[in-house]
């Protein structure tokens, strides 16, 4: 047995325990239950491997903030399920504070130390898949093929990655059997119902303005426009990103327009029972469990994780760190894996000098452009009271299988557009928008 242990599991609570494991020994220990670690853990358990999942947050899957698509902004700032990370775009504080999104925390109404730009990360079972805007859009095939060529690993190519997508997807917006999609996976996919917008002149004016930009100005009938928008953004077509176009953006929501994520997949895996009432799959999930360090046995050719203090968990095969872009390198560095100079600066014993850990973090940033319309147009949430007693939108969503304004996720329409500096022949800009309110500054908690 490979002896691997996780150190310091704090505030330990057990969400689910499978009797098929032997004490505190598992084939795999997975740190993190988000879009990476969650499905991996569930799949391993479904293959018969005993798996322990460590999640720093709690299981908030029953919360309406997570379930209702338009509440994604609020859940991203909810203190029970979010980690408030802040990033700095400039070394100069004065330059940084010119950004309208720069954030201060003002619990008493007075300005405090400036925090930076809020970068929400999720502390909950299911990870960031349970607080994001739910967009489910495949990248251009060129992106996958670039990675395959760069690494020399053909498993990264677009056709192979499409197979993984089909295995994961449970498509709810296309006829079953449609090429390139899955219909029996764990991740629900759907589109917004745009019929709600089709009768609004202001909204259709905006859509037609976008159509003129991409060269589809010959359509004027609302039914024809909806047919155009409802084209499948994730269809099998290597050239689908080469042409500008408007789309109804696919989302990871289920048939009843509830958020679908690894939280539901983990829950379903834990709750599935044999006829004798025993858990079918050997999956154990600990919530409120923060893995702060991995200890390594360096006596062999390669270091192996071995120790624990607060609680111990052994892995026969692997410890898998899936804490996300920030927390994965954090755990590795705390465990002595990272740039030697940085580790020694903080008196961390070096297990492996790996300079790349925690570096080269990149993101595709959203840049907001606020505008005031010359005439009013439909705001589908105008009459909603956001869970106040008697909320008519919540009642419709609950009683009519997700219909109405609360069944609409993210922005109704997206625009793919190729800029003059596209590095290949693909569209490189992704526009979307919605009716909302303008604000000049951001204060933490304004949406919670």
Lowest mean pLDDT segment, chosen from 3-7, 223-227, 342-346: 3-7
Q: Which pLDDT belongs to residue 302?
A: 62
Q: How far is CA 334 from each of CA 77, 331, 339, rounded to the nearest angstrom?
A: 27, 5, 11
Q: Which pLDDT belongs to residue 297?
A: 61
Q: Which pLDDT belongs to residue 120?
A: 85
Q: Could you tell me the pLDDT band of residue 23, with boundaries at 50, 70 and 90?
A: low
Q: Which pLDDT belongs to residue 365?
A: 75
Residue owning tokens 């997700």: 402
Contact between 316 and 1 under an 8 Å Cβ cutoff? The reply is yes
- The residue with greater pLDDT, 83 or 234, is 234
In degrees and rounded to multiples of 5, residue 255 shows phi and psi of -65, -25
**For 351-407, how does the pLDDT look when each residue is reduced to its tens digit (9 = 90+)?**
999 999 999 888 877 777 877 777 777 888 889 999 999 999 999 999 999 999 999
- The residue with greater pLDDT, 310 or 382, is 382
236 by Cβ neighbours in 10 Å (0-12 / 13-18 / 19+) ranks as middle
pLDDT higher than threshold 90 for residue 411: no
Q: Could you tell me the pLDDT band of residue 438, with boundaries at 50, 70 and 90?
A: very low
Lowest mean pLDDT segment, chosen from 220-234, 309-323, 390-404: 309-323
Q: Could you tell me the pLDDT band of residue 68, with boundaries at 50, 70 and 90?
A: very high
Cβ neighbours around 165 below 10 Å, total? 17
What's the start-to-end Cα distance of the chain, in Å?
A: 47
Q: CA 385 to CA 394: how far, in whole Å? A: 9
Lowest mean pLDDT segment, chosen from 37-41, 167-171, 412-416, 443-447: 443-447
- How much of the chain exceeds pLDDT 70, in percent? 86
Q: CA 403 to CA 387: how far, in whole Å? A: 16
pLDDT higher than threshold 70 for residue 330: yes
pTM for the whole structure: 0.86
Cβ neighbours around 221 below 10 Å, total? 8
Q: Which pLDDT belongs to residue 110?
A: 58
Q: CA 404 to CA 396: how far, in whole Å? A: 6
pLDDT higher than threshold 50 for residue 24: yes
Q: Which pLDDT belongs to residue 14?
A: 43
Q: Which pLDDT belongs to residue 447?
A: 39
Q: Which pLDDT belongs to residue 21?
A: 47
Q: Which pLDDT belongs to residue 436?
A: 57
- Mean pLDDT, to the nearest integer, of 69-93? 88
DSSP 23-87: TTEEEEEEE--STTHHHHHHHHHHTT--EEEE-SSB--TT-HHHHSGGGHHHHTT-TTTEEEEEE
Q: Could you tell me the pLDDT band of residue 20, with boundaries at 50, 70 and 90?
A: very low
- The residue with greater pLDDT, 181 or 300, is 181
Q: CA 159 to CA 179: how far, in whole Å? A: 13
**For 128-179, how does the pLDDT look when each residue is reduced to its tens digit (9 = 90+)?**
999 999 999 999 999 999 999 999 999 999 999 999 999 999 999 999 999 9
Q: CA 76 to CA 84: how far, in whole Å? A: 9
pLDDT higher than threshold 80 for residue 217: no
Contact between 432 and 411 under an 8 Å Cβ cutoff? The reply is yes
Of the segments 23-27, 76-80, 387-391, 430-434, which one has the largest average pLDDT value? 387-391
DSSP β-ladder status, 25-31 and 51-54: parallel
């Amino acid at each position: 047995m490979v002896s691997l242990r996780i150190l310091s599991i704090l505030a330990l609570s057990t969400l689910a325990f499978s009797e098929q494991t032997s004490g505190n020994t598992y084939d795999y220990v997975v740190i993190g239950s988000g879009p990476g670690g969650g499905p991996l853990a569930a799949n391993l358990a479904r293959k018969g491997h005993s798996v322990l999942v460590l999640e720093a947050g709690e299981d908030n899957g029953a919360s309406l903030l997570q379930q209702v698509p338009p509440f994604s902004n609020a859940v991203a700032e909810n203190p029970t399920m979010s980690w408030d990370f802040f990033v700095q775009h400039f070394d100069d504080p004065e330059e940084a504070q010119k950004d309208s999104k720069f954030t201060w925390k003002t619990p008493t109404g007075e300005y405090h130390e400036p925090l930076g730009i809020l970068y929400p990360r999720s502390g909950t079972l299911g990870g960031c898949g349970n607080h994001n805007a739910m967009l489910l859009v495949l990248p251009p095939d060129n992106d996958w093929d670039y990675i395959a060529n760069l690494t020399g690993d053909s498993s990264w190519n677009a056709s192979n990655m499409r197979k993984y997508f089909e295995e994961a997807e449970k498509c709810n917006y296309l006829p079953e059997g449609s090429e390139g999609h899955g219909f029996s996976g764990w991740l629900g996919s759907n589109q917004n119902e745009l019929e709600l917008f089709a009768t609004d002149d202001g909204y259709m004016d905006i859509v037609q303005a976008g159509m003129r930009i991409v060269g589809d100005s010959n359509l004027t009938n609302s039914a024809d426009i909806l047919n155009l928008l409802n084209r499948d953004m994730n269809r099998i077509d290597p050239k689908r990103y080469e042409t500008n176009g408007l789309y109804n953006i696919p989302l990871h929501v289920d048939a009843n327009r509830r958020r679908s994520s690894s939280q539901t997949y983990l829950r379903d895996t834990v709750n599935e029972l044999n006829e004798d009432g025993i858990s079918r799959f050997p999956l154990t999930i600990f919530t409120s469990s923060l893995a702060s360090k991995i200890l390594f046995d360096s006596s062999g050719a390669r270091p192996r994780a071995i120790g624990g203090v607060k609680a111990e968990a052994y892995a026969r095969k692997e410890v898998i760190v899936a804490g996300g872009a920030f927390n994965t390198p954090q755990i590795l560095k705390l465990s002595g894996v990272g740039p030697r100079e940085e580790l020694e600066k903080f008196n961390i014993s070096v297990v492996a000098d790996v300079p790349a850990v925690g570096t080269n973090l990149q993101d595709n940033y959203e840049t907001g452009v606020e505008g005031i319309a010359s005439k009013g147009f439909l705001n589908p949430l105008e009459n909603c009271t956001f869970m106040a007693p008697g909320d008519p939108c919540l009642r419709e969503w609950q009683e009519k299988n997700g219909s109405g304004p609360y069944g609409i996720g993210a922005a109704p329409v997206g625009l793919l557009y190729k800029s003059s500096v596209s590095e290949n022949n693909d569209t490189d800009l992704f526009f979307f928008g919605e009716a909302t309110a303008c604000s000049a500054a951001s204060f933490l908690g304004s949406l919670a």
